[in-house]
Amino acid sequence: MNFSNSVVGFIGLGKMGLPMAKNLQSAGQSLIIYDVSQQACTSLAGHKGTEVATSISEVANKADLIFTMLPTGEDVAQVCQAADGLFSHARPGTLIVDCSTAHPQLIRSLSDAAAHISLRMLDAPVSGGVVGAVAGTLTFMVGADQVTTDSLRPVLSAMGKKIVSCGAPGHGQVAKICNNLLLGISMIGTCEALSLGARHGMDPAMLTEIIASSTGNNWCVSTNNPWPGVLPDAPSSHGYAHGGSIQTLAKDMGLAVQTASEQHMPLLLGAVAKQLYEMAMNQGLSDLDFSSVIKLYAESK
């Protein structure tokens, strides 16, 4: 199946959803869009091939493939299961793809419920933030096998650069959570290593170069280096602006710690790293790039 010629529904036109839908529109995709705030639909309206719906059920009635991009998992459940929601009104065979960040178990439950009524639902959470949504360079972690993922590729390509199959419903969320857990830990590890080197009088740029070609290398060392000036293009060299915020990362790591606890799995390093981001937020750094957590290690005057 190829959705390029289908009508695609898009529910949720916030900071992320709006530029994503705009990219679909620009790619020539026929759209039917909806948001609780009709205001949010304005900038996409009036474009040939784009219809503005006044209810979720209207989207359900007209689309073959429906994206949801909503603030919380509760919103996703509501949009699917409310009396006027997708599950009650979508046509048999409709595919619902949720791009929000949500609990993997919720996705599995919704996916199972959808299957019972001849619908399909899966998750495709994104990374790349608002910048990636605008530029159409998001990564999609698709909770589906390779075949299904490939069938979505032509549509997703309008919004993202990398589309990865994660196996089964819910596993898109799992992959995102696990990646961000490791990312959050690696960043703090990188901050500790560079700060320690600097305290010993070593130039952080030279230390970066050495680690980058050694066993300690990771994406935070080589690409999002937290030490100002080491990488001219990294947020750290521009006041820690325009990256993945501490707040966002702490939220994702919180989801990791929570889902681990639900299974009585200890997640010690993750829990400590999470607390260090909390400490950074307590010091007013919430909205800066998450590499700004290095400020916790600065020598006090």
Catalytic positions, written as ranges? 176
Question: Is 207 near its own copies (CB under 8 A)?
Answer: yes
Please list the alpha-helical segments (H only) found in 36-83.
56-62, 73-81
Cβ neighbours of residue 67 under 8 Å, at least 6 residues apart? 8, 9, 10, 11, 12, 17, 20, 21, 97, 98, 99
Residues of span 231-260 touching its own copies by CB under 8 A: 250, 254, 256, 259-260
Closest distance of CB 5 from its own copies, Å? 30
With beta carbons less than 8 A apart as the criterion, state whether 145 and 124 touch. no
> Per CB under 8 A, does 216 bind its own copies?
yes
Please report whether residue 25 would count as binding its own copies according to CB under 8 A.
no
Kindly tell me the sign of the dihedral angle through the C-alpha atoms of 116, 117, 120, 121. Answer: negative
Contact of 125 with 191, CB cutoff 8 Å: no
Residues 185-204 that bind its own copies (CB under 8 A): 185-186, 188-190, 192-197, 199-203
C-beta separation of 95 from 144 below 8 A = no
Shortest Å, Cβ 57 to its own copies: 26
| Distance separating alpha carbons of residues 32 and 25, to the nearest angstrom | 10
Return d(Cα 34, Cα 32) in angstroms, integer. 7
By CB under 8 A, which span of 4-12, 44-52, 109-117, 169-177 interacts with its own copies?
169-177
Segment lying near its own copies (by CB under 8 A), choices 12-20, 112-120, 160-168, 234-242: 160-168
Window of 46-54, 79-87, 90-98, 291-299 that interacts with its own copies by CB under 8 A = 291-299
Does position 215 bind its own copies by CB under 8 A?
yes
Establish if 296 lies at the interface with its own copies (CB under 8 A): yes
Q: Is 181 in the site for its own copies (CB under 8 A)?
A: yes
Q: Contacting its own copies (CB under 8 A), which of 82, 115, 117, 206?
A: 206
Question: Do the Cβ atoms of 63 and 8 come closer than 8 Å?
Answer: yes
Of 45, 11, 8, whose CA–CA distance to 27 is shortest? 8
Q: Which amino acid belongs to residue 199?
A: R
| Binds its own copies (CB under 8 A): choice among 221, 230, 234, 288 | 221
> In the set 9, 104, 132, 235, which binds its own copies (CB under 8 A)?
104
